[in-house]
A and B are shown apart, each in its own frame.
Chain A
């Protein structure tokens, strides 16, 4: 099979983790937020601010793993008129200006509704490197979709959390693609990092993981970013960045956290 020029020979996520081992900053925001056509300008702003990677949220009416701030932002994006078809339209030329790895984070219903293969094909076309789909079980992915993901060069990034038992964690480590997304605590997005015994034990446990990993959920300032970076290759900031976008202080927020 010929490799078409659209796809990178090396996934940009791998490239990032090969070249940077510490303090990787990944930012999450929903597409079409705060305004419908802000998706690409936000990406350019983040790249210019020195962010390493971005997760673009596909707005969904019922985001189970997210807290109220992200659900409210997703609702605003939907009210703005954001749709998955439009997102691919917006991202058509994004690779002319944005070179960092880009991940789409969304829920399975939206992707299934779009048509899984169509979706992966369009991801490949616009230069998406990976997906985070919290409610797509690993078993379902491996049984039905693994080959299609590979065909279009899209990574499936898996999540692990404090409740994840050791045997399951090992399975997630060996099955994730690009990096492992470590959820900081038993909560939805938008909380804060609570430093206590249980948390410390979990972080000590995940520090041993050799696979590239990022910590997410509850990281909202420089202190929590630096703290979590001690235990993984970096961290993911979502809700706090959305609040900064709301206040129109996105650039200074990134400067402060880095």
Chain B
């Protein structure tokens, strides 16, 4: 089975570039350049240097002693929460900003939901002295004031998206419209979504997560491959990065956890793969949440980083082929898992990451198995939600 992207930008039947002609030239420019740039010596050394001395990589692979005892197995945590700006998002923004620089772009456009990708983009724009425009749903701006302030302090302009439901989906629409109106800008997308080549480009940039896991596990356990990798999925960038180097390693079980919200049998959910159907969103053929008229449904999750109505086409393909098992965790499951991690390991995870941790309660492990859970981000941004619940 081939899980990789093909030359036309498809993962099996999913992916592609379903874009208006208005974006054709931009997408062609990127598609023609991205692999050469990503594989060039200059890019690789600059990317590695920044990940090392600016982002703070490699991030630790922490053996979770108490959690392991609780679940009677060997659990490791991949600590993306310890990255600069608090999540895995910056692995991608560092890479894309270098790409934008290689292409000679001066103005950067990004979309953001909770503000994590917006902050990571504003950060690298400040570092490279580039103009930064972040589109954010008007409703999200109200809900995520601290991240708005961070972006502004970093010098970014935050533009409220007032169309549609005023959340991530609409911010993405507005970012794409901005790109149409300003074709010489660079669109710095935040997940493995959007038209080809974005899903592949972002997967590659996040693949540092699984690259490091292999090296770190070899030192810890004398073998590169764990028995199981667990990550949360919204658009799916941290999961894509965490699975990347294990996809062809058959003995590694890959588990992705979607946000069930209040339950997959309710209308308030974001479990795209569990309940979605094939369609087109933001330039990509993938699974998405839509009604019987083909209108895209606004998702719901307690975690702002997981409430996207689509999912990266790589995940649609990994689900369809059965290579990755997609399960879901409710708001309640995630809150409990966050508390369990905090009390047992002294780590407060982001609500997104708490969904991955919630999988531990739903699974059976053997004592000598090695399980890696991706802690994609830290919980500082979610303290208000946690305070309201505990």
Contact = CB atoms under 8 A, between A and B. Distances in A.
Contact of A108 (B25, B162, B280): B280
Nearest to A186: B183
Contact of A109 (B16, B163, B169, B280): B280
A85 B293 contact: yes
A183 B22 contact: yes
Given A68-B163, A109-B296, A140-B16, A134 B21 contact: yes
Contacts of B182: 186
Given A108-B280, A109-B290, A61 B296 contact: yes
Nearest to A172: B21
Task: Classify chain B: how many residues form its interface, as a range.
Answer: 35 or more
B294 interface: yes
Given A62-B164, A112-B294, A161 B280 contact: no
A187 B290 contact: no
Contacts of A188: 177, 180-181
Interface size on A, as a range, is 35 or more
Given A75-B164, A140-B16, A65 B180 contact: yes
A134 B20 CA distance: 5
Interface in B1-60: 16-22, 24-26
A84 B309 CA distance: 21
A164 B279 contact: no
Interface string A50-80: 0000000000111011011001100100100
A112 B22 contact: no
A202 B91 CA distance: 40
A136 B177 CA distance: 17
Contacts of A60: 294-295
Contacts of B290: 109, 113
Nearest to A139: B8
16 contacts: A60-B294, A64-B19, A64-B283, A65-B180, A72-B163, A75-B164, A107-B280, A110-B293, A113-B279, A137-B17, A163-B183, A164-B24, A165-B25, A168-B24, A187-B181, A188-B180
The 9 nearest A-B residue pairs measured at CB: A113-B294, A110-B294, A134-B20, A109-B280, A65-B20, A61-B295, A83-B293, A163-B25, A159-B21
